[in-house]
Every structure is written in C-alpha cells, then in structure tokens.
Structure 1
Amino acid sequence: MSAVVELPEPLDVIAVGAHPDDVEIACGGTLARLAEQGHKVGIIDLTDGEPTPNSPGPEARLEEARAAAAALGIHKRIVLQLSNRKLFDTYDNRLALAIELRRYRPKLVLGFGEKTPMASPDHWQAMQITDAAIFYARLTKWDDQFDNLPPHRIAAQLYYTLAFYSATPLGGAGHIISDISATLEKKLAAVRCYASQFAKEKAHVFDRVEAQARHMGEIAGFQAGELLVTPRTLGTRDLMGAIFGDVVVSPPSDAPM
C-alpha cells in the first residue's frame, strides 16, 4: 500500500517555460491579471537558463527570477534542474514536470506553442515535454513513477508564443487575446528584472515586448493584450456572455480513458 503523500495548496494556473524570462515575455501580463483576480498562479521553469553570456552564474539568474515573480504577484515559482542548452523531450524530463503538475494540481496550464527558429531549440523541446506531462499527470495505475502522487486531470491547456519575427500568428483551434491593459507595466517590470539577459545593447527588447502587447490589444479593442491559442475548440453555453461579458468558456470533456 502506498504511503499517503501530503500535498500543498493547489494552484489554479501554472505557466511552463524553458528558461526564466520565457513566461514573463510571453504571458506575464496575463499571469499578473489572473493573480489580481484572486487566482493562485505558479510558474515552472524547466531549467535555470544557465550558462548565458552575461550572467555571473545560476544564483544571480535565480534571484532575477524571484524578483520577476514578485513583480507579477506570482504565488509559487519552481525551477527544475533540467539542462539548459541540452533540454530534450525525454521520459525522465516528462516525469519531472508531471510530478509537479500532480503536486500542485492546476486547472489550466500555459506553455510554448511552436518552434522558435534561430532562437533556443529548448523552446520546442519544452512544448513537447509540457504536452506529454499534461497527459502523464492524469494516468492511473502508474503512481510509482510519480513519487506516489495521485493522478490529476488538467482541465484546460493554452499555448503562448514568442514569435516576434513572424507575420503569421500562432496556429491552433482558436485564438484568444488576453486583456493586459491594467498589467502591462507589471509585465514590463518583470522582464526588466532580467538585467543579465537584457544589457544596454538589448534594450530594444523592452520596446518590442511593449509594441507586441499594444498590437495584440488593438486587435481585440484593448490597450494591451497577449495572444493565447487553444489546441481544442472552446465552447460556451452563454453566447452573449462570452461575447460581451467576463464568463468562463469550457473545452469539451475528455473521452473515457
């Protein structure tokens, strides 16, 4: 008989990145808004992002990540000890993330939605690891593979994008613009916490992040926004509420296992 595992307070939302700063750039405004709305929000970085050219070392990068999480109002940040620059979609890496998803039991997981050509290949690997871990988190009769943590079914998944250099939006079953008009400054403050990554010669990154947010917001009639993509078509039982109000739209339930 398996020992009973004591579980921490669950998180409502977890965003997964390959490195500290991925999530802040892609969907930091959304996470800050969710936190302001009372949701418990977490970030899981698969690696510590080290080594990088201008960072003095892992501890400095972790301190930047802690400061960025505080700027967004994040409740929990976890940095897994997977290998930066050598991140691959392996069974062990899938398990490492699935264990945390079982431990913190989120309703929603956000993660990478595409390759980033001419940027880190870790991003594409992180997408595959996240997709697999979401599936692994719910599997029964396999608890011994997950530190005897019980299965957890994640209700919804969304993809985010870092594709600043593409004129084609991220594809998927549906597009959502998340309103970050009230949290854009928190997003920018969080990105600025990564001084080791964005030295003076990379200061244009802040303008690019803000411009992207302004553009996405304009598409949906907001001052600022972030693009999120659902891999499954969403449905609503309240059409007028979904169009004109703040209601929850739910994905179709999974078929029986």
Structure 2
Amino acid sequence: MTVDVEKEYPQIEILAVGAHPDDVEIACGGTLAKLADLGHSVGIIDLTDGEPTPRSPDPETRLAEAAEAAKVLGVQKRITLDLPNRKLFDSFEARVALAKEFRKYRPKVVIGFGDRTPMASPDHWQAMQITDAAVFYSRLTKWDDKFDHLPVHTIGRQLYFKLAFEPINKLDAPGSFVHDITDCLERKLESIRCYQTQFPEEKAYVFERVKGAAIYLGATAGYGAGELFYTTRAIGTPDMMQLLYPGDRVYTERYLRKTTSVE
C-alpha cells in the first residue's frame, strides 16, 4: 500500500546533502539562509553523524551542534542518516536510504557534492555518487518494496557544490552560476562556528578562508559575497535580457507584460 506522504511529510523545496554535519554549512550555508529568508522551504540531509571525530566527546554533541547550525540558517528540516562515517561507500543500501528521504520530502532541487576532495575525507566523493544515484532512484517505478511503498518522486533540478576549502576549479559540468549571499555571509560563518568540536580556536583561520572564498566568488559576479554552483543541465532562458539584468525592474516588468498578454 502506497504511503500518503503529503499527510505525513511536509514538502521541502530544496534539500542539500552532505557526508557529515558541517559540510553543507561550509559549502552552501549562505544560500540556504537566503532561500529560507525568501520564504522557500529548505532542508539538510547528513549521510552520517560525523562520528567518531577527534575533538567530539560523543555523537550527541555533534548532533546538537548540527541542530544549532540549522537553526541559525533557518533550515526547517535536518535529517541524519545512519550511514557510517569514515566507511561511507556508494552502495545499494545507501542509495535507497537517501532516495527514501527524497520520496518523503519531494524536493524540487537537490544540492550535493560535485567533486573529489583530495587530502580531505574520501566520504565526500562517495556522497556525490550516492546522491547522484538517489536522485535517479527516487523516480524509479515498479520497485515499491525497495522503498517502503513510498510514492515515486521526480526531482526537477540537481546542483553541485564544492567546499570553500577546495581550489576553485571548474567542474566538467554544462554550466555554473554564483548565488548572491552578501546579506547572509555572516550567518553562514555563524553556522560554521556552531561546530565548536570541529573548529576550536587554533582553527580560526578556517573562517577567514571561508569568508575570503565567498568574497572572491561574489566579486566574480559583481556581488559582495557569493557561493558557486554547477549545473547538471545547461542554463536556459526565454528572455536573454532578463537573464543578463535580473535586478532590472524594466526588463522584468516588460517580460511579465509580454507573457501575460500572450496567455
């Protein structure tokens, strides 16, 4: 019997997936904060609880930090899957576990890792592969028993992020764009500071690196601060001028008038 997800699970428009608590905050915390401010529903899925880790006394401490970080960003839902930190692998079971969450919360956009992170956790690369597969698994039919009879859900858009620590190299992707987070940069940094077990005083340089990367990326697009995303499809537009001048009221109103009159 198919589960009535609309009654049991409120839809989350944008879901960001990380391997560990703090991955998403570092990669796209500013974007989630801005989207939440604009009235969109946003959520985070951590594939593992990040434990064990050198400075955290227990999983409960890290989970409490994650909950506080989500609160700072205005994230409505944070989910932690029971997959193993340090031993995360792209497996059928991991794909299904994540796809079940996609079927429950029916996101319109999924954001996740887009590349390897050399000299950092190999879990990140595995997380990318798991997320890619789960996006596909979410819409598979005739496999109800594998997904606890949750209804199929097709995710319309998928985006890739890179951690702010990583070199800003272009991915092999159809397109990319910078999202303006000028007004949310400080909240992004505040959310990362919630992870006191991960970023003690001797790692204060991390915040300068994250801030520097955001300012650099923002400058490339004419913003005070930004976050970079890569697309799985080419970026298209029915109106070139509206795309090139998104903040120009004249072009927006002209486009709206034209499309309304056509209808």
Distance 2:3 2:54 in 1: 44
**Partner of residue 231, structure 1:** 232
Count of aligned pairs: 246
- Is the contact made by 2:85 and 2:123 (CA closer than 8 Å) also made in structure 1? yes
TM-score when scaled to structure 1?
0.93
Paired residue type of 1:73: G
**Other structure's SS at 1:166 match:** coil
Matches within 5 A, 1:12-161: 12-161=13-162
- The offset of 1:3, in angstroms, is 4.6
The whole-number CA distance in structure 1 between the counterparts of 2:207 and 2:135 is 32
User: Which has the higher Rg, Structure 1 or Structure 2?
Assistant: 2
User: Which residue identity does 2:244 align to in structure 1?
Assistant: I
SS of 1:15 mapped into structure 2: strand
Structure 2, unmatched stretches of 5+, are 253-263
Secondary structure of 1:176 counterpart:
strand
Partner of 1:9: 10
Give the whole-Å Cα distance in 2 for the aligned partners of 1:65 and 1:224.
Answer: 24
Aligned to 1:251: none
Q: 1:191-245 deviations in whole A, cap 9, x for unaligned?
A: 0000000011111000000000000000000000000000211211121111111
Q: Secondary structure at the match of 2:135?
A: helix
Question: How far off is 1:163 after superposition?
Answer: 5.8
Identity among equivalent pairs (%)? 59
CA-based RMSD: 1.2
In the TM superposition, what are the counterparts of 1:135-214 in structure 2 within 5 Å? Answer: 135-162=136-163, 164-166=165-167, 168-214=169-215
The answer to whether the 8 Å contact 1:99/1:146 transfers is yes
Deviation string 1:109-153 (CA, Å, 9 cap, x unpaired) is 000000000100000000000000000000111111111000000
- Where 2:82 maps in the other structure, the secondary structure is strand
* TM-score relative to the length of structure 2: 0.91
Q: Distance in 1 between matches of 2:151 and 2:217?
A: 39
Q: Which runs of 5+ in 1 are unaligned?
A: 248-257
1:130-184: per-residue Cα shift (whole Å, max 9, x none)? 0000000001111111110000000000000016342523341111100000100
For the 8 Å contact 1:111–1:160, the answer to whether it is kept is yes
Q: How far 1:4 moved relative to its partner?
A: 3.7
CA–CA distance in structure 2, aligned partners of residues 30 and 159 of structure 1: 13
Cα separation, 2, equivalents of 1:34 and 1:193: 20
